Amino acid sequence: MTEAILEVDALERRFDVSAPWLNRVIERKPRRTLRAVDGVDFDIARGQTLALVGESGCGKSTIAKLVTGLHAPSGGKIRFNGDPEKMQMIFQDPFASLNPRWRVGRIVAEPLRTLNPQAPEAQVTARVEELLDTVGLSPADAVKYPHEFSGGQRQRISIARALAGEPEFLVCDEPTSALDVSVQAQVLNLMKRLQREMGLTYLFISHDLSVVRHMADVIAVMYLGRIVEIQPTADLFATPLHPYTRMLLDTIPDLEAPKRDRAPMGGEVPSPVSPPSGCSFHPRCPLAFDRCTRERPEREPRVHDRRVACFAAAENTDV
């Protein structure tokens, strides 16, 4: 096994979503906490891509913010075996994450100047031009403003800015979900090429299983703040173990084998403020039995990269 660049252990993050103090006093409302991330652990090997997938509210973006230090964990540990300055982030919305008043050259140069304040101007300019070229933009684009670019080009600017810090590790939170498919293909191909050439490690967050299949080496499926299953990509698609993963794979529209007469699964993701008892998936699970309503399936001891938190799946397979 290669060395892990990131080790996440029993990570927790709770948010206080209580009513304001006065309301609590007058209306006798209790404090309420939302467990956005509820005991999550995974490793990412250097040079690999681990993807977190799940529906909205499952906690995947909170993990991105915990890993990059934008939130502090409420419990558990995150160990980054590298220089913290070598971690960068790419956000979903290339419209909100670039300063509209700065020229592209200044946006990309900012991390360079932060890392090396004494760098001569000519060196910074040369490096900016090189970076723009790397992501498929023209060096002449440095004098333009973000609004002059399309969504896909803006995401390239975000990537150039992230690369300026010479990162080893990139946290990508839904980097292509705001883009059209043909542009998404360009950005995904670029990210894969950069990974190959620079040996980058990605934590890739997405709700789109087909994108994740294309990008990831290992996939962790999340449901209500917990990882329900983690497997290498090909294995997850070949033998999904958790009923929730199977449901997800069944419900995504499939271009090559369209399921035109599907009977969709009922139910919705419950509120994370008051999750169901036991296994939080049990109200929607076709395999649930009485133990699932009482006990929470714990994560299996670490055998390979293949773990599932499900009583039914654990009985049927020897993981």
Closer to another protein at the Cβ: 198 or 269?
Answer: 269
Beta bridge partner(s), residue 40:
11
**Cα distance between residue 138 and residue 159, in whole Å:** 14
Q: What is the nearest approach in angstroms of another protein to the Cβ of residue 265?
A: 6
Q: What is the nearest approach in angstroms of another protein to the Cβ of residue 191?
A: 11
Closer to another protein at the Cβ: 81 or 189?
Answer: 189
Radius of gyration of the chain (CA): 22
Q: What is the nearest approach in angstroms of another protein to the Cβ of residue 143?
A: 20
Q: Which of 139, 127, 306, 317 is nearest to 227 (CA)?
A: 306
Type and span of the H or E element at 193: helix 181-198
Closer to another protein at the Cβ: 17 or 115?
Answer: 17
Spatial contact of 46 and 67, defined as CB atoms under 8 Å apart? no
Closer to another protein at the Cβ: 78 or 185?
Answer: 185
271-279 contact pairs (CB < 8 A, 24+) = 272/34, 272/35, 272/36, 272/57, 272/59, 272/224, 272/225, 273/17, 273/32, 273/33, 273/34, 275/35, 275/224, 275/225, 279/309, 279/310, 279/311
Q: What is the nearest approach in angstroms of another protein to the Cβ of residue 269?
A: 7
**Cα distance between residue 145 and residue 162, in whole Å:** 18
What count of other Cβ atoms lies within 10 Å of the Cβ of residue 49? 24
Q: What is the nearest approach in angstroms of another protein to the Cβ of residue 232?
A: 12
Question: For residue 167, what are the contacts with CB-CB under 8 A and spacing of at least 6?
Answer: 86, 87, 88, 200
Closer to another protein at the Cβ: 63 or 178?
Answer: 178
Q: How far is CA 6 from the centre of its chain?
A: 14
Which residues of this chain interact with another protein, rule CB under 8 A? 55-56, 150-153, 180-186, 188-189, 192, 207, 209-211, 213-214, 233-234, 237, 247-249, 251-260, 262-269
How is residue 212 written in tokens?
């994740």
Q: What is the nearest approach in angstroms of another protein to the Cβ of residue 144?
A: 15
Closer to another protein at the Cβ: 116 or 251?
Answer: 251
Closer to another protein at the Cβ: 16 or 256?
Answer: 256
- Provide the phi-psi class of 278: left if phi over 0, else alpha when psi is between -120 and 50, else beta: left
Closer to another protein at the Cβ: 189 or 316?
Answer: 189
Q: What is the nearest approach in angstroms of another protein to the Cβ of residue 255?
A: 5
**Cα distance between residue 262 and residue 250, in whole Å:** 9
Q: What is the nearest approach in angstroms of another protein to the Cβ of residue 291?
A: 24
**Cα distance between residue 285 and residue 276, in whole Å:** 12
